[in-house]
Structure 1
Amino acid sequence: MLYVYTMKNQILFFFLFFQISLFAQKRDVQVYREFVDGKTIVYADNSEFCPVSVVIRTELVNMKSSLKKAFVLVPAQTKKFVVTELTVIDKTKKVSFKYQSSFFLGDIDLRKYDINFPYELPYNKGEEYLIGQGYNGTVSHQNEFALDFAMPVGTEILASREGIVVDVQDQNSGNCMKKECAENNNFVVIYHEDGTFAEYTHIDTNSALVKKGDLINTGQKIALSGNVGWSSGPHLHFFTFVPDIEKGRISVKSKFKTTSNKPEFLEEKKSYLKEYE
């Protein structure tokens, strides 16, 4: 889009390019600009239920930006949050700018979070399930800290940690062993207070018991397990992650309450009985 403004002896050319990068996410975020008191102000409306990192890339001619770094963290449910202010350097010369914006759920600059948080096993008391594939598994978990709980379709999935639901997909059906089938995954994503996320994947079709914006307690029923998407059999694929500007997200290890006195990392090919509620 090309916007042309005439101010006294000055012509301002504004080229606005909105582009979602390869790893950026399609989100309920709007970035727009207004011309106020001689300045161009770029705003963001974030209608998501967690903070969103808005990445801005600019090309400026005879202008300067108030941006201190490449992105701005926009709080959840915020309207008209100032992303940057662009001001003219020399009003007697031609002025133009370009900017691209992309969005990531959460803080892409997150460095500190609770690595020792005691997650609860995501199923009911008295149930026991095998970890079919663990961290850095050879089938589909290469370089990923994810866990596959081998459980029958229809098993009640419980939230391992309290938070707020930021994404739900349960309309897909069918499965296959090709990586491309990951686009057909069903899932629930929950945002935690320390800035991390947990994704519960392969839930059954139309089985989600929560929706975006719901506040979730630990142990609350959120969905039923399934065998949908990139899956070779019925199981719950669970992992926690932090957002990343290059990879989109990076999985992180999670410790779980088991029968031991201290939370521990779950191991592949071991079964875990839940003895608490």
Structure 2
Amino acid sequence: MSAVKAQVPHISIKVETNTNRSIDYIATKTDPGTFLVVLNFTNLTNSLSKEREIATITGYAGNVYTMRPENKNQDIRYSNFTFSYIRGKLNPKYDPEFVYLLPYQNGTKVKALELTDGKAKYLGSTTPNSWKIYRFSTDAADTVTAVRKGIVVELKDIYDTDSREGVAFTSNQNFIMIEHADGTLAEYNGFKKGSTTVKVGDVVFPGASLGMSSKASENAEPSITLVLSYLKSADFESAKDKTKQRDKSLYGYITGKFLTGENSSMVLESNQVYTSVIAPAIVQKELTKKELKALVKK
């Protein structure tokens, strides 16, 4: 999850005072993903709320928070209201043994490379110690597929292939962000411009096409990078403080276990070649009954 992407304006909040003197904070969002919202009030009086409240919102719109008066016969008052937000569900319960597909079509030979410090190449020394990136490369540009069922919450498809040498991970890449049912996130980076096949709001199944891989540099093999993550902290203030330690990231990163032609559940070894397998059991395990019926009819 790059800091650059977290700065995109996704949410606006409207304030409405009710007849019972409570106050609703109603959000409108540009995508259906989950966001953590931090509400800050200055000089707050006659309220059961604190001056800093945390809320979660999903979908395109909804009530983020309702503030209620301590004395129901008087109005709530404060001198200033601001809010901050970041993508993700705070500390979601996820299964560390969950098995993902490799991000390519069935039978594709894929070379895996684990990049543990990639973000530092373009964000200086702010990389958290837990940062983990998987790069998957193939001999020729190929179709990139979803590693797990989820909903597309963000994408960018505007950049030409980055031809700079020595770039392991750059912010100027076409990417797709997918949120999974448990609140974890998958960020796929490095799509060929104009090749993405999904849009924000689409539900994608494991093995579904997302777009085409591209070269990170002129002499590099076509590849895609994958980051599996989750929101682990709401401490925005520490995250903005550049004097803090490098591991003070708002996100935690997941060491995924993958289904390959060589093993049914494994942590990938760097610089090894694996065979992508699209197994029905993996594809179907998170599908609803309606989705399963539709899949059978195809």
Residue 216 of structure 1: aligned partner: 204
Q: 1:220 to 1:227 in 2, by over 3 A?
A: same
Letter in 2 for 1:197: L
Query: Aligned partners of 1:206 and 1:228: how far apart in 2?
Result: 16
- Shift of the 235–86 alpha-carbon distance from structure 1 to 2, 3 Å rule, reads same
- Cα deviation for residue 128 of structure 1 reads 0.8
Is the 1:160–1:218 contact (alpha carbons within 8 Å) kept by the matching residues of 2? yes
Which structure 2 residues correspond to residues 237-252 of structure 1 after superposition, within 5 A?
237-244=225-232, 245=234, 246=239, 247-252=249-254
- Is 1:235 the counterpart of 2:223? The answer is yes
Separation (CA, whole Å) in 1 of partners of 2:166 and 2:84: 28
Q: What amino acid sits opposite 1:200 in the alignment?
A: Y
The answer to whether residue 176 in structure 2 is matched with residue 188 in structure 1 is yes
Higher strand share: 1
SS of structure 1 residue aligned to 2:214: coil
Matched, 1:125 2:106: yes
Counterpart of 1:70 in 2: which secondary structure?
strand
Contact 2:56/2:64, CA 8 A, preserved across alignment: no
Find the partner of 1:254 among 253, 256, 281. Answer: 256
Using the aligned pairs only, state the percent identity: 21
Post-superposition offset of 1:32? 1.8
Q: Which amino acid aligns with 1:251?
A: Y
Letter of the structure 1 residue corresponding to residue 28 of structure 2: D
Alignment partner for residue 46 of structure 2, among 63, 73, 89? Answer: 63
Return the TM-score normalized by structure 1. Answer: 0.77
SS in 2 for 1:266: coil
How far 1:206 moved relative to its partner?
0.9
1:270–1:190 Cα change, 3 Å = same
Tell me if the contact between 1:197 and 1:241 (Cα under 8 Å) persists in the aligned partners: yes
Instruction: Note if contact 1:62-1:89 (Cα within 8 Å) is conserved in structure 2.
Output: no
The count of aligned residue pairs is 253
Give distance in 2, aligned partners of 1:144 and 1:30.
Answer: 30
Instruction: Report deviation, 1:181.
Output: 7.8
Structure 1 stretches of at least 4 aligned residues deviating more than 6 Å after TM superposition = 90-94, 178-181
- Structure (1/2) with the larger helix percentage: 2
Tell me the equivalent position of 2:137.
150
Q: Can you give the 5+ residue segments of structure 1 that lack an aligned partner in the other structure?
A: 1-20
What is the match of residue 136 of structure 1?
Answer: 116
Task: Please list the CA deviations of residues 175-232 of structure 1 after superposition, one character each: whole Å capped at 9, or x if unmatched.
Answer: 2358798331111111111111111111111110101011101111111001359x96
Larger radius of gyration: 1
Separation of aligned partners in 2, 1:44 and 1:262: 43
Q: Report the RMSD for the aligned CA atoms in angstroms.
A: 3.4
Measure, in 2, the Cα distance between the counterparts of 1:262 and 1:103.
38
Aligned position for 1:105? 87
Q: Does 1:43 align with 2:26?
A: yes
Amino acid at match of 1:136: T
C-alpha distance in 2 between matches for 1:88 and 1:168: 43
Q: Equivalent of 1:161, from 120, 134, 148?
A: 148
- The answer to whether the 8 A contact 1:203-1:228 is kept is no
